[in-house]
Amino acid sequence: MVVGGASGIGRAAADRLTAAGHHVVVADVNADAARTAAAEIGGDWLYLDVTDERSVAAGFTALDDVAVVVNCAGLSMPGPIVDLELSAWQTTVDVCLTGTFLVLKHAGRRIVDGGSIVCVASLNGRQPGTGMAAYCAAKAGVLMLVEVAALELAERGVRVNAVSPGLVDTPLTEGISFIPGLREEYLENTPLGRAGTPGDVADTIAFLASPASGWMTGSAIDLNGGAHMRGYPDLLGRIKALADDDG
Ligand code: NAI
């Protein structure tokens, strides 16, 4: 089951897991895209909204013998803390953090003994960025949730790990190209000098889903071209510079 598998990193993970021999179910709030993705990989799809417990519970109840669960559902609603609407905070936390809790809860009930759960966290789970309060806080929470779930599910041999990507070119990050210099600042802060591809992340997800990582649980893999060793771009500074130029 790849939750959030209709786009970006999740879509690439669905490809990789199919290639590894899994029968993949694409679960997403975007039903049309999930249906299309499932048709392309020869898998199944279902509507699932990670913010709605009934939907998450129904999604897992519909499946037997789930061996691998990947949670890629996520979004970001940026803004400075002093101006951030409570609704934007709540939406981000609902999808990224509470959604991860609900997936872990219902995946934890249904997954087979010895199964593997992989959550997509973020570089922002450990590295702060201006304008990213809700996303950073939610992703830091995801990293801790993964550790707690790993402890609780270990007695059944279920492994729970995270992958923490830096900048990856997906529909989620298309907006950064509208802010002059922002992408360049990301890349200056990335020792390997390039953004990630969805396939880069999917390869690591497939590793965490496979027996090759059989002695790993409660771990988070940094996957960011080395960006965790440098600073994070100043999103709000870039937006202010853009407004000053326009004004
Ligand atoms: P994306 O926007 O391409 O894909 C996200 C998917 O999640 C979409 O298919 C969307 O429909 C689904 N989704 C959103 N809300 C949902 C909900 N309530 N219930 C079920 N599905 C829902 O984004 P991308 O980049 O592939 O992101 C995947 C994950 O990777 C997210 O958790 C994101 O925070 C994380 N990430 C992305 C990075 C990037 O630079 N693209 C960097 C670090 C982490």
Residue 104 clears pLDDT 80, i.e. is over it: yes
Indicate the pTM of the whole model: 0.97
pLDDT tens per residue across span 197-210? 999 999 999 999 99
Which backbone phi and psi does 100 adopt, to 5 degrees? -65, -40
Pick the residue whose CA is nearest to atom 6 on ligand 1: 4
Mean pLDDT of all residues belonging to the chain: 97
Residue 245 clears pLDDT 90, i.e. is over it: no
Pick the residue whose CA is nearest to atom 4 on ligand 1: 7
Q: Is the CB of 171 under 6 A from ligand 1?
A: yes
Residue 247 clears pLDDT 90, i.e. is over it: no
pLDDT confidence of 196, banded at 50, 70, 90?
Answer: very high
Amino acid at 139: K
Spacing, Cα 150 to ligand 1 middle (Å): 22
Spacing, Cα 160 to ligand 1 middle (Å): 19
Integer Cα distance of 94 and 83 in angstroms? 19
In the chain, domain spans:
2-246
Integer Cα distance of 197 and 79 in angstroms? 26
For the question of residue 232 being annotated catalytic, the response is no
* Topology (CATH level 3) of domain 2-246: Rossmann fold (3.40.50)
Q: Is the CB of 29 under 6 A from ligand 1?
A: yes
Pick the residue whose CA is nearest to atom 23 on ligand 1: 172
